[in-house]
Structure 1
Amino acid sequence: MNNAHPLIFSGIPVLETTSAASFAAKPLPCREFLDSTSLMPCRNVVLMSGDGGTGKSLLALQLAIAVVVTGTDWLGIAVRSGPVVYISAEEDQQETHIRLAEICAADGIDLSAATDLHICFMAGEDAVLAFESGKGARLQTTEVFKRLIATLELRRPLLLVLDNLADIFSGNENNRSLAKQFIGLLRGLAIRFDCTVLVLAHPSLTGLNSGSGSSGSTAWSNSVRARLFLRKDIDANGWEQDKDRRLLETMKANYAPRGQPVGLKWREGRFVRSDPPKPFDDVTVANLESVQEIFRTGKYRAEERAAEWGGYVVASILGLDIARGISTDERTSEQKQARKKVRQILATWMNDKAITTELRPDQNRKEKFFFTVPAQESEAFLTGAKTRLTGA
């Protein structure tokens, strides 16, 4: 439709529409993503939150370097190559220089190759892109927003990083309408310039305590297509065992599975991949066969509170300390993690039908569940168990 001559109905210009039938004659488009895991969609906004000092800016700089320097990856994830515009309203030029030098030195990257990483340093300056205007809960864009558009016209980035939400948005974060309007403005930039917009943000106190990483209105999370939460690795007792360790968790992903948190370790000035141990790490098929042989005796109970719980058999074979005879409050965090691992192993073997349970009288003639092994072992569940050992 020609916007200069809009269709008029009852004296009012109608909204421009597209007939769905017109798609039939066009080739089917493909969704495009910045990364190989389909986590960061192009032409969309992604939100990455994290408490101050967790390393959001550092992680975003690592992503920027991976995008602009061909042949590099981000935390082991392949990314597309292209220009990046990074609006830094938190870190100054000196600190960013140090971080980039450390990232490149640690990963063997020539910093001089990052010619397409365009950084705008606005720490200590007015970086607001939009502010609340009047009483109607409407946003008004600023001169900085206009200058950002001009910058994007010039640089045509594949990735736009905005660091930080508190610096670029001047409005009530708890106002759903304002949050949706602001993400809408950024989505407009993503569509217009065919790029991914990554916004860094601090979670609220509630978001931190709940583990959701959210901030203000739920509209922030609802309006973006993906949301990441960078957090410290806190154990069940609330302790941070390793201050150099972080977890990057996918809280929302419209086009990718949420999956398990990605473990990160701060090393030589940047983060490297360090995933948490999986339940079946160091577990072999021979271990399973040993457990099956013992469970055939029918002496071991399925209830964890029982003195003869089958989990103690698994723990003994794997050499795990799960604090037998010690109350929950007395167990260390390592013992709690080991007990959790045993539960996960038993649950998986049950699901694969490598082991099962049967209800029968105990020595006191009370009906209880005991672990046992299926009468007819099939190659199917043994194959499934083997798959779990390598892929769980």
Structure 2
Amino acid sequence: MIPYGRQEITQEDIDAVVEVLKSDFLTQGPKVPEFENTVATHVGAKFGVAVNSATSALHVACAALDLEEGDWLWTSPVTFVASANCGLYCGAKVDFVDIDPRTYNLCPDALERKLEQAREQDRLPKVVVPVHLSGQPCDMERIKALSDRYGFRIVEDASHAIGGQYQGEFIGSGRFSDITVFSFHPVKIVTTAEGGMAVTNDAELAQRMEMLRSHGITRDPTRMTHEPDGPWYYQQVGLGFNYRMTELQAALGVSQMARLDDFVKRRHELARRYDELLADLPVLSPWQHPDSYSGLHLYVIRLKLGEIRASHREVFESLRKQGIGVNLHYIPVHTQPFYEAMGFAPDDFPESMRYYNEAISIPMYHGLTFEQQDAVVAALKQALSV
């Protein structure tokens, strides 16, 4: 089986983790701050807050922005459920904005139309979560301009996008958002096994997220309500969570970050080759915006169903039977039973449904060989003729 994504673990990665196992700290030691600094410095942000998953990072980001009951969070339907669930965790209500048909990201035109309607109805969002699907950044300049006009805060869900760039700056620089979130799940570009990080240029937001990841506790006397009893003293100043990252994960992350640029460069090499190999097939290859340099976490094709005999499902199942571990990113969130119970219907976001009915994620990862890539394309040709 050729998987759609796979981590690359080297001896250097293993040695870095073993070194921590032999050290005095397995948690709350020096490696987590080192990892935070490594990521923040690489992307051009001032602060990094490492947590145990990108889901946790989304949650603490929204909580730090005071998202609460009565507020609205908007995001894309074509994403993992965490991009929406983070709003519900804060007691807020969730809505969606349909996708751009070329980038598959949240459409700024649809966002603007929805904001105009929401202002008339007095239900503007407090937070918007643009998702950089597959690693390609959203049109953040447009979204930031709308933020300035309508007053919402921006959390970039860059779970797919570390190492990518927008308008010549690394995703995460914070030029067009309040907070950016990265994921380090094993199939992502860089892995810490499980893990995530929120980066920001706002010192207050960083401090709030740091407390939220660790039970709402601080040891900083300037943030306490009264004088410390002694050097042992800590104080819970809010309701937080246990979202801390371990030293083992951070050590793996530091080691992996040394190869980030190579990881992304290789993905672009594979994507260009896919573009050439698939050019004559009845599929649509991913379109790349000229202002962006995608992290290329995923390579999503869309089937030209009017030009083939097989159905979407038949192509997918044929590829799986041939040993190609394809996947579908994602089932639109608003179609999930949990969200349908809130009143959403599939036809609410038609562009997202068109995408869902045609999309297949084919293998894309640093260790994919040209021979394996040829096997993927051969299997796809066979599947399209079913």
Higher relative contact order (CA 8 A, sep 6+): 2
TM-score, normalisation: structure 1:
0.30
Max Rg structure: 1
TM-score, normalisation: structure 2:
0.31
